[in-house]
Amino acid sequence: MVLHNKTVIITGSSRGIGLDIAKYFSREKANIVSNARKDISQDIIQELEKSGSKVLVVLGDVSHFDTAKELIETTKEVFGSVDILINNAGIAKDNLIMRMSEKDFDDVINVNLKGTFNTIHFASKIMLKQRSGVIINVSSVIGLTGNIGQSNYAASKAGVIGLTKSVAKELAPRGITCNAVAPGFIETDMTHGLSNIVIDNTLAHIPLKKLGKTSDVAEAVLFLAK
């Protein structure tokens, strides 16, 4: 297995897309560093370890610079390398632009975009010394199309795409790849909380008239990691 004993950091991996990504990498027997803001259940850890993976849980909000630094440095101390970084942590706080508070705009930008910058900032230093590494950022189709009531989310995910393109050009000469996956609407806890107007507007543009599954994204991420 190409990813056997490779070390992968997955932010926002306690549920949804991030958790499914972790499960796919556990089947490849990669060393998994699972990050989330809140506790990750022992059942999840045991399920990942059942496939033969070593699992390290590092809790913390990567929108904070020092927290992201601790995540990357702890990974390096425990496993000796940072081979793959998957930036999946994300939040949504939807509202029409005229009703959106400054805090809701800032919170979404800080987690979705700044959190991605923070982890790349620290991981890239290790990867440059290794002359190898893979960075995969989870963006969204909303970052390309925009959406009613999601100006903060769209701005953050469009920013992730621009960040990805720039980082890819900077790090490629050292053998490091940086790609983004931009899913459409996926069935997760986040989408369950969306308003009917957002869901209806989205489904109107999907020929199959249904949302995607977390496994669809996990498979794409796994492909890019190899």
Give catalytic residues, as residue numbers.
153
100: closest CA among 51, 47, 155, 59?
Answer: 155
Cβ atoms of 123 and 82 within 8 Å: the answer is yes
Measured in whole angstroms, the distance separating CA 29 from the mean position of its chain's CA atoms is 20
Exposure string for 142-161, b = 16+ CB within 10 A, e = fewer:
bbeeebebbbbbbbbbbbbb
Helix, strand or coil, per DSSP, at residue 193: coil
Cβ atoms of 42 and 117 within 8 Å: the answer is no
Residues 6+ apart with CB under 8 A from 36: 11, 12, 13, 14, 18, 59, 89
